[in-house]
């Protein structure tokens, strides 16, 4: 039977078991929208800005582990999507973006709503395609999903000219796809793995340093099993919070610029570092020269060879899928019948406990003073029993959420770690809610970030998404203000926002519940009501926090892991 290109798009998405498409219609995708109108299997979520379409698809992917799908029109539809695409690329999230394009005969003629979408997105996608013939459409979409979800995942864009979505051809969806140029490694090198196990067994001061790759590979259980066998401390990056239970004694917290004292010192002083799905980026180790000055053996597992020895030279590189490699580690440990290393590691743990005793995240909430942001996240954690999916935007609130919400499970913490995109929080929460309709979803944001995608409150109303938004409102671009205070002589250049809206009233104008919170004593009861009395409504909590509060610990950009500022007293 002959199908139009638009019908083929819909058929392909159904075959890929796509349940939601986040999108926004326009001229070049009218045929595709017409085909969507005539089917019931896939639900289209109409956002209010294309950036949010890609962020929501990205959030859906992060929360579910499935490929997220976004659909946008040509020209401005595609350019608006670029920030979303680059954000997904920054954190290696599997998303397929379908974009409309002007008819093939008009490409290159500066037509209405024409841009070179494939050219503009090339540096921020894992791969992209321009489909010039309807006969290639089905196979191209199959390849797009295959590339997006395998290897190191990432966004893949398929640009579809309007005449291609109108043209007809026989539909055949390939069951599998083989590409001679693309065959990601899955199994790790057995000899290297044996050497790594030996190094870990002989280590006196080991540490497991896990990054977002562990979440992407769904290898949290294997990480936990390995850590327990080795009795080694674990630190997980901002992207890997939840890959290891935060409530466990072996967990040291997050490393890096705003990491814990114990995580940073343990990472620095370890004799064997098992880096897995992590990339020693500038926000984690600061200066690579400072880090490299301390001798240690580095085992680096990653599915992407280009992540290995990029910033820090690995002694034992292992290319492969983390889950498979960990399974091999555990099997080899079983074969060798490793006895408990408790005694050998006792002095190391003693040092770590001394570092932990500094209680670097301690804070005080005066009962009648300003609300402390740390107290807000702490209370949120208590009220949600640590079980919520938490999204954040970018800035101080993001770091406080990462530090004070103790994640015990993977795929519960969604934020833009690589690109650091303000505005992701609300659309991530939308995507997460569609992925996990039974789970409480909280967006922790700030008064600056939330305004970068606030139009999505309208989408939330249309789709009755009972999200809880916790706006840590300090009236400043908080992280910018913090850097200006510490490193620019207190010259607060453009980091203060005058004339902010009344957020609670704004939320109500969109049809939601909006509540302003000014006093510490009000916080917990209001939060509890948000999840009980208003369980089925979106609740926007505008929480007025102490505007002078800074995020600590902190390592200044370019400094090393041992050069932490623990509080204002260290300055």
Q: Examine residue 105 and tell whether it contacts other proteins (CB under 8 A).
A: no
398 is catalytic: no
Catalytic residue among 126, 162, 372, 468: 162
Spatial contact of 298 and 267, defined as CB atoms under 8 Å apart:
no
From candidates 304, 408, 528, 546, binder to other proteins by CB under 8 A: 304
Nearer to other proteins, 127 or 508 (CB): 127
Q: Is 108 in the site for other proteins (CB under 8 A)?
A: no
Contact flag: residue 177 with other proteins (CB under 8 A): no
Which residues of 397-447 form beta strands (DSSP E)? 413-414, 441-446
Q: Is 123 in the site for other proteins (CB under 8 A)?
A: yes
Binding footprint of other proteins, residue count (CB under 8 A): 18
User: By CB under 8 A, is residue 194 in contact with other proteins?
Assistant: no
Nearest to 432 by CA among 483, 394, 468: 468
Q: Does 174 bind other proteins (CB under 8 A)?
A: no
The count of residues in the chain is 571
Interface with other proteins, residue 179, by CB under 8 A: yes
Distance in angstroms (rounded) separating the CA atoms of residues 311 and 291: 10
CB of 506 to other proteins, least distance (A): 40
Q: How many beta carbons lie within 10 A of that of residue 465, not counting itself?
A: 22
Contact predicate 193/330, CB 8 Å:
no
We find the least distance from the C-beta atom of residue 184 to other proteins, in angstroms, to be 10
Token digits of residue 176: 């599998």
Tell me whether residue 311 or residue 534 sits nearer to other proteins (CB atom): 311
Report how far residue 321's alpha carbon sits from residue 71's, in angstroms, rounded to the nearest whole number.
Answer: 30
Q: Is 66 a catalytic residue?
A: no
Cβ at position 53, least distance to other proteins in Å: 24
Contacts of 98 (CB under 8 A, 6+ apart): 9, 29, 32, 69, 70, 71, 72, 157, 158, 160
Q: Name the token pair of 565.
A: 């500022």
Decide if 202 contacts 178 (C-beta within 8 A): no
Minimum Å gap between C-beta 494 and other proteins is: 29
185 lies in the site for other proteins, by CB under 8 A: no
Residues forming beta bridges with residue 231, ordered by sequence position = none
Min. distance of Cβ 24 from other proteins in angstroms? Answer: 26
Site for other proteins (CB under 8 A): which residue of 305, 366, 525, 557? 305
Q: Say which of 16, 50, 222, 537 is annotated catalytic.
A: 50
Residues of span 530-569 touching other proteins by CB under 8 A = none
112 as an active site residue: the answer is yes
Q: Is 35 left (phi over 0), alpha (psi -120 to 50) or beta?
A: alpha
**Closest approach of Cβ 140 to other proteins, in Å?**
12
| Interface stretch with other proteins, choices 58-66, 197-205, 303-311, 390-398 (CB under 8 A) | 303-311
Q: Which of 185, 159, 34 is nearest to 96 (CA)?
A: 159
- Whether 479 is a known active-site residue: answer yes
Summarize the chain as % helix, strand, coil (round to 5).
Answer: 40, 15, 40
Least Å distance, CB 118 to other proteins, is: 6
DSSP H or E segment with residue 309: none
Is 168 in contact with 2 (CB distance < 8 Å)? yes
Active-site residue flag, 497: no
Q: Which is nearer to other proteins, 211 or 317 (CB)?
A: 317
What is the distance between the alpha carbons of residues 484 and 495, in angstroms, rounded to a whole number? 9
Contact pattern for other proteins over residues 307 through 336, marking x by CB under 8 A: --xx--x-----------------------
Residue 392 β-bridge partners: 444
What is the contact mask toward other proteins in residues 126 to 155, using x (rule: CB under 8 A)? xx--x----------------x--------
**Residue 274: strand, helix, or coil:** strand
Residues with a catalytic annotation lie at: 50, 112-113, 162, 479
Q: Which residues bind other proteins (CB under 8 A)?
A: 118-119, 122-123, 126-127, 130, 147, 179-182, 304-306, 309-310, 313
């Amino acid at each position: 039977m002959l199908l139009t290109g638009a019908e083929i798009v819909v058929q392909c998405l159904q075959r890929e078991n796509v349940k939601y498409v986040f999108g926004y219609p326009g001229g070049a995708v009218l045929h595709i929208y017409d085909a969507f109108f005539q089917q019931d299997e896939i639900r289209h979520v109409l956002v209010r800005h294309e950036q949010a379409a890609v962020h929501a698809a990205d959030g859906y992917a992060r929360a579910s582990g499935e490929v997220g799908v976004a659909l946008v029109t040509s020209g401005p539809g595609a350019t608006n999507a670029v920030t979303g695409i680059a954000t997904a690329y920054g954190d290696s999230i599997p998303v397929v973006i379908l974009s409309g394009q002007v008819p093939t005969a008009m490409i290159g003629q500066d037509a209405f709503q024409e841009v070179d979408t494939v050219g503009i997105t090339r540096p921020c996608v894992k791969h992209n395609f321009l489909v010039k013939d309807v006969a290639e459409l089905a196979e191209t979409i199959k390849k797009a999903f295959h590339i997006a979800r395998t290897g190191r995942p990432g966004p893949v864009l398929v640009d579809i000219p309007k005449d291609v979505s109108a043209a007809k051809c026989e539909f055949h969806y390939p069951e599998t796809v083989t590409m001679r140029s693309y065959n990601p490694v899955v199994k790790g090198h057995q000899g290297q793995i044996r050497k790594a196990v030996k190094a870990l067994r002989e280590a006196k001061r080991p540490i497991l340093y896990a990054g977002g790759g562990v979440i992407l590979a769904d290898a949290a259980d294997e990480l936990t099993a390995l850590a327990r066998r080795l009795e080694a401390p674990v630190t997980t990056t901002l992207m890997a919070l939840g890959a290891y239970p935060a409530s466990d004694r072996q967990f040291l917290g997050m490393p890096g610029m705003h990491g814990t004292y114990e995580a940073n010192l343990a990472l620095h002083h370890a004799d064997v570092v098992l880096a897995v799905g992590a990339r020693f980026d500038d926000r984690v180790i600061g200066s690579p020269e400072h880090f490299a000055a301390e001798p240690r053996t580095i085992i680096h597992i990653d599915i992407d060879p280009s992540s290995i020895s990029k910033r820090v030279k690995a002694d034992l590189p292992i290319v492969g899928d983390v889950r498979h490699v960990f399974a091999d580690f555990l099997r080899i440990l079983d074969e060798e019948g490793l006895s408990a290393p408790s005694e050998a590691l006792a002095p190391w743990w003693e040092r770590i406990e001394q570092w932990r005793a500094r209680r670097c995240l301690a804070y005080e909430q005066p009962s009648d003073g300003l609300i402390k942001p740390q107290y807000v996240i702490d209370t949120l954690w208590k009220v949600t029993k640590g079980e919520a999916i938490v999204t954040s935007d970018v800035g101080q609130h993001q770091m406080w959420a990462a530090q004070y919400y103790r994640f015990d499970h993977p795929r519960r913490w969604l934020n833009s770690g690589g690109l650091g995109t303000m505005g992701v929080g609300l659309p991530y929460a939308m995507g997460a809610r569609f992925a996990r309709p039974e789970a409480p979803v909280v967006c922790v944001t700030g008064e600056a970030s939330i305004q970068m995608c606030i139009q999505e409150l309208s989408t939330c109303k249309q789709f009755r998404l009972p999200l809880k938004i916790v706006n840590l409102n300090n009236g400043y671009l908080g992280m910018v203000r913090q850097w200006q205070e510490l490193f620019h002589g207190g010259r607060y250049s453009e980091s203060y926002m005058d004339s902010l809206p009344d957020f609670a009233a704004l939320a109500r104008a969109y049809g939601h519940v909006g509540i302003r919170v000014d006093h510490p004593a009000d916080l917990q009861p209001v939060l509890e009501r948000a999840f009980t009395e208003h369980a089925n409504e979106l609740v926007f909590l505008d929480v007025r926090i102490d505007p002078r509060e800074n995020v600590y610990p902190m390592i200044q950009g370019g400094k090393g892991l041992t050069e932490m500022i623990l509080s204002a007293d260290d300055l």
